[in-house]
């Protein structure tokens, strides 16, 4: 009965340890598969820990060195002495099948883990003191960790981490554009960030009406359509139909008001249908469940990761989410639990998470240009603390500031202000905004590179009201014509 409750194989564990003691290269075979808890027998755990200690010191691993390390740990007699170590080496002829043996040991560990999770879940479910949704979240997270193999690699040596760092740098050097993360689709922004980094929590904050939802949708469209990256959006504010209409308006150049009212002409209708078809075949997942909790988002995102391997998650928006409610807690503490949960989600799924956030009203009462700053983040200072990047979306035109300090027109101008960047520089990227379609693009002198000319012809024509220019200078002139044309509302 005990063996059924705790699946394991003494013979396999002895064979694996014996191979490590005989073959100096054997540790390299098993270190990415097994950890100390992979072994069921306690004495085997101690012996494997001694091997790991030697490996991290770059010391040779053999019968004598492991014996000395166990003496240093005051554990040699506990594991059976030098005699038992010798017995381990006698139980294996070679290390030829070591990797296969290690994976069988790992599978036994997974079985034990599944039994433990099931027993704990059954026990906790009987207690009326436990919140059922918290239990489900915890149970599902533990199961996810098992399926991802996280329980089979609970530690990592500095040598392994250093090797990964070198490999990552080599991979980055092979990319001529420096794009190592998930692309935003905006040239200057990608040049600055290298793409959205895995495990990063990016906070995109702005006052209502700045267009942060549209910009987030554009990030998702660029990643899913142009780069074939599976993406997901959790929209607590908008329905899936509204998201699709907004996305199609951005892609087709058809005004959102015309789409809502059904006032499109034949050409606009055709462009809308083609845009909808693009969205339909893109790996773009939408969830419009109202009043989502951080637990529910993490649960759904895990399933999306397993089933569709999503590479980017957007949450719109942070202040509408429900966090962990505690007795006597306030809204700021709840928002803090949301931001921490989103950061944990990014690390858990190994994907970037972009969370939209509102700014408080102090921006409106401040004089000058009213550019946002970190202290304007609404309801919680922990948002800034948990985020790897905090960016603000700012449009001077929104505040009727029609010229910048150089006297240049601000019509259609938007600024992506990076106010915190854990991995790089702080800077501001200029974007172009068309309020008719709520579409964001690179600024005119950036968008007509040969690689993307064909895809932008239709969009540029709609935005500027002219035949697509043949070069960047022509586009600048077209933009100047647009700014002087009072018949085009911007």
Cα of 246 vs its chain's centroid, Å: 23
CB atoms within 10 A of CB 402: 11
- Residue given tokens 């991979």 in the structure block: 171
Say how far apart CA 253 and CA 461 lie, in whole Å: 9
Write down the residue that tokens 């200029």 correspond to: 430
> Is the distance from CB of 8 to CB of 108 less than 8 angstroms?
yes
| Cβ atoms of residues 220 and 275 within 8 Å | no
Residues 6+ apart with CB under 8 A from 213: 235, 237, 238, 246, 316, 317, 356
Quick one: which of 301, 179, 279, 283 has its CA closest to 228? 283
Helical axes 10-22 vs 98-125, angle rounded to 10° = 140
Enter the tokens of residue 444: 């005119």
Q: Which residues contact 268 (CB under 8 A, 6 or more apart)?
A: 252, 254, 258
Tokens of 221: 């469209």
The token pair at 25 is: 């290269």
Q: What are phi and psi of 455, to 5 degrees?
A: -70, -20
- The C-alpha angle with vertex 38 and arms to 34 and 44, in degrees rounded to 5, equals 105
First to last CA, the chain: 75
Angle at 439 between CA 436 and CA 442, to 5 degrees: 130
Q: What is the DSSP letter of 433?
A: E
For tokens 């004495």, name the residue.
43
The answer for residues whose C-beta is within 8 angstroms of residue 124's C-beta and 6 or more apart is: 130, 135
| Secondary structure percentages of the chain, helix, strand, coil, to 5 | 55, 10, 35
Catalytic residue among 119, 237, 364, 403: 237
Q: Which two tokens stand for residue 123?
A: 């026990």
Determine which helix (DSSP H) or strand (DSSP E) holds 135, and give its type and residue range.
Answer: helix 132-147
Q: Is 69 a catalytic residue?
A: no
The rounded distance, in Å, linking the Cα atoms of 390 and 285 is: 24
**How far from 366 is each of 127, 199, 209, 360, CA to CA, in Å?**
52, 35, 18, 11
Q: Write out the catalytic residue numbers.
A: 237
């Amino acid at each position: 009965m005990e063996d059924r409750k705790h699946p394991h194989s003494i013979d396999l564990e002895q064979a694996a340890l014996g191979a490590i003691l005989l073959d100096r290269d054997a540790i390299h075979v098993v270190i990415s598969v097994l950890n100390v808890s992979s072994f069921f027998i306690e004495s085997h755990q101690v012996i494997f820990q001694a091997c790991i200690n030697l490996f991290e010191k770059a010391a040779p691993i053999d019968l004598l060195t492991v014996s000395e390390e166990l003496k240093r740990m005051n554990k040699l007699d506990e594991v059976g002495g030098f005699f038992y170590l010798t017995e381990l080496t006698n139980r294996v002829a070679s290390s030829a099948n070591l990797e296969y043996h290690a994976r069988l040991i790992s599978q036994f560990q997974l079985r034990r883990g599944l039994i433990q999770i099931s027993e704990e879940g059954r026990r906790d479910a009987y207690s009326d003191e436990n919140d059922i949704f918290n239990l489900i979240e915890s149970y599902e997270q533990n199961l996810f960790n098992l399926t991802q193999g996280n329980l089979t690699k609970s530690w990592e040596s500095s040598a392994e981490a250093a090797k990964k760092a070198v490999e990552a740098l080599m991979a980055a050097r092979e990319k001529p554009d420096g794009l190592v993360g998930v692309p935003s689709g905006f040239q200057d922004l990608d040049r600055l960030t290298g793409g959205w980094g895995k495990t990063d929590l990016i906070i995109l904050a702005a006052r209502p009406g700045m267009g942060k939802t549209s910009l987030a949708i554009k990030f998702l469209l660029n990643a899913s359509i142009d780069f074939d990256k599976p993406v997901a959006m959790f929209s607590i504010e908008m329905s899936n139909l509204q998201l699709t209409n907004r996305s199609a308006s951005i892609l087709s150049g058809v005004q959102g008001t015309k789409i809502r009212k059904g006032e499109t002409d034949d050409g606009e209708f055709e462009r809308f249908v083609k845009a909808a078809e693009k969205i339909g075949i893109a790996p773009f997942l939408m969830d419009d469940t109202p009043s989502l909790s951080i637990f529910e988002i993490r649960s759904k995102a895990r399933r999306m990761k397993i089933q569709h391997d999503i590479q980017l998650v957007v949450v719109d928006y942070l202040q509408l989410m429900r966090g962990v409610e505690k007795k006597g807690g306030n809204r700021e503490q709840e928002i803090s639990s949301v931001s921490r949960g989103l950061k944990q989600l990014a690390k858990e799924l190994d994907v970037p998470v972009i969370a939209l956030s509102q700014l408080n009203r102090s921006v409106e009462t401040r004089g000058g240009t009213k550019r946002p700053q970190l202290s304007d983040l609404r309801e919680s200072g922990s948002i800034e603390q948990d985020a790897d990047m905090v960016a603000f979306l700012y449009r001077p035109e929104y505040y009727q500031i029609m010229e910048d300090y150089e006297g240049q027109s601000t019509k259609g101008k938007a600024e992506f202000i990076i106010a915190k960047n854990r991995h790089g520089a702080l800077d501001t990227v200029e974007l172009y905004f068309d309020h008719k379609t709520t579409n964001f693009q690179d600024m005119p002198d950036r968008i007509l590179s040969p690689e993307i000319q064909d895809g932008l012809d239709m969009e540029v024509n709609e935005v500027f009201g002219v035949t697509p220019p043949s070069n960047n200078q022509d586009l600048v002139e077209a933009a100047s014509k647009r700014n002087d044309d009072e018949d085009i509302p911007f």
